[in-house]
Structure 1
Amino acid sequence: MSIMASGSTRHPIFARFYAKVAGPALDRAGVAEHRKRLLTGLSGEVIEIGAGNGLNFPYYPAEVRRVVAVEPEPQLRALAREAARAAPVPVEVVDGRAEQLPAADGSFDAAVVCLTLCSIADPGAALAELYRVLRPGGQLRFFEHVRAGSPAMRRVQRFVDATFWPLLCGGCHTGRDTQSAITAAGFTLTEVDRFPFPATKIPSPAATHILGTATREHSDQAGPQ
């Protein structure tokens, strides 16, 4: 996950851990294939929130004219700027919060959230901002770990989220109902794949993931009520 919490966005210990340990561990577990699926078919102007240290950058297709990558954590942002130099498309890495994006209304063809909404203090506000900056008909691409399907694991998620998990993991929460939050923000879901990741012998509260696409409707009346 990246770090997009409101308020203080300096998490230097977790930033170093994510860049040197968690990110490479996800790569070994096969996350690259999910990143490719997330970004395949994108084109035009794209905004990515919670870009972290730029792990998505290599997978943007050539049809993308520009990526604005928003990351508030200083150390991760610096690493993302280094990664942007080797990206196959132009990437501009900027400081900013998901709840108040530095972009004009309707200025992007697509938005990307990848292992990010778990750590935002107000994911509803962040999704409303993404809705605002997308052009009518624009796509939201998402890859997030979410609330588990089983009641037993949901109880585990509530426990870890109320105790130690957010403190250790840069504000991350394991049990958010992100799919419902996306529709509540006004988006129309067009594709959702739900699956466990990574494969582990011991069940993890952060294992349930969704990957998919939602759209901002063309009508100005579509949106959060």
Structure 2
Amino acid sequence: MASRSHPVFARAYERLSVLMDRAGAAEDREALVAGLSGRVIEVGAGNGRMFAHYPPQVSGVLAVEPEPRLRAAAVAAAQAAPVPVTVVDGLAEALPGKDDEFDAAVVALVLCTVPDQTVALTELRRVLRPGGELRIYEHVAAETSGLRRMQRLADATVWPTLFGGCHTGRDTAAAVTAAGFAIDELHRFKFPATGPSSPAAPHILGRAVNPTAAESPR
């Protein structure tokens, strides 16, 4: 089985995700998927908080989630989604999709947890058609030295254990580029916008394109 069980984190995340959406993440999710159409794969769907935001031009979503409790919640959320959503067990490192199958891919607060970003992003390129879009909403490495030190300390101690394998100090935008995607839009911001900064405060929201074979052969 592909499942990765984090029962304590899953229970906490079900509550935390609601608080995050109230603090502005719902608007970020709306912006993340705005304008999408066709067939979409969402990797690390969690408890399905993204589903309500997909626009009607999306013909279907394959939502991949390896954590059993969160996946069950996502299945329930899919019933109320405005577009068809199928929730499946699976890992970012071995996506359940054919080559070039999807028009777009969505990752939201998941590339911090995957064991190997390079492998996960290679898989995303595999299942995306040439010219398909990768939409990214992640917390990332800080741009200031003080917060980067805080992230290194957090990642070396209890943070990954408490938060389902999350690492706060990853330069995800650089990893996306290194995997062969072309980033054409990227917004950096602090989340939440007010209050003290946590190791997970620096965020990015953006869009990258899977180049055609002529532009960047795999």
Tell me the TM-score normalised to structure 2 length: 0.97
Residue matched to 1:69: 63
Give 5+ residue unaligned stretches, structure 1. 1-6
Residue matched to 1:16: 11
Q: Does 1:38 align with 2:21?
A: no
Residue matched to 2:82: 88
After the TM superposition, which residues 120-135 of structure 1 pair with which residues of structure 2 at under 5 Å, given as runs? Answer: 120-135=114-129
After the TM superposition, which residues 114-125 of structure 1 pair with which residues of structure 2 at under 5 Å, given as runs? Answer: 114-125=108-119
Deviation at 1:56, TM superposition (A): 0.2
Q: Does 1:211 align with 2:205?
A: yes
Secondary structure at the aligned position of 2:12 is classed as helix
Structure of higher RCO (CA pairs closer than 8 Å, 6+ residues apart): 1
CA distance in 2, matches of 1:131, 1:94: 19
CA distance in 2, matches of 1:216, 1:118: 21
Residue matched to 2:170: 176
Residue matched to 1:55: 49
Q: Over aligned residues, Cα RMSD in angstroms?
A: 1.3
Deviation at 1:220, TM superposition (A): 5.4
Residue matched to 1:154: 148
Residue matched to 2:22: 28
CA distance in 2, matches of 1:204, 1:157: 9
CA distance in 2, matches of 1:200, 1:122: 32
Secondary structure at the aligned position of 1:183 is classed as helix
Aligned residues: 217
CA distance in 2, matches of 1:164, 1:187: 32
8 Å CA contact 1:187, 1:223 repeated in 2:
no
| AA of the residue aligned to 2:202 | T
CA distance in 2, matches of 1:120, 1:14: 15
Secondary structure at the aligned position of 1:194 is classed as strand
After the TM superposition, which residues 130-145 of structure 1 pair with which residues of structure 2 at under 5 Å, given as runs? Answer: 130-145=124-139
8 Å CA contact 1:185, 1:223 repeated in 2:
no
Secondary structure at the aligned position of 2:66 is classed as coil
8 Å CA contact 1:46, 1:66 repeated in 2:
yes
Secondary structure at the aligned position of 1:30 is classed as helix
Give 5+ residue unaligned stretches, structure 2. none
Secondary structure at the aligned position of 1:29 is classed as helix
Secondary structure at the aligned position of 2:203 is classed as strand
| AA of the residue aligned to 2:29 | R
Deviation at 1:72, TM superposition (A): 0.4
CA distance in 2, matches of 1:13, 1:204: 21
CA distance in 2, matches of 1:38, 1:140: 10
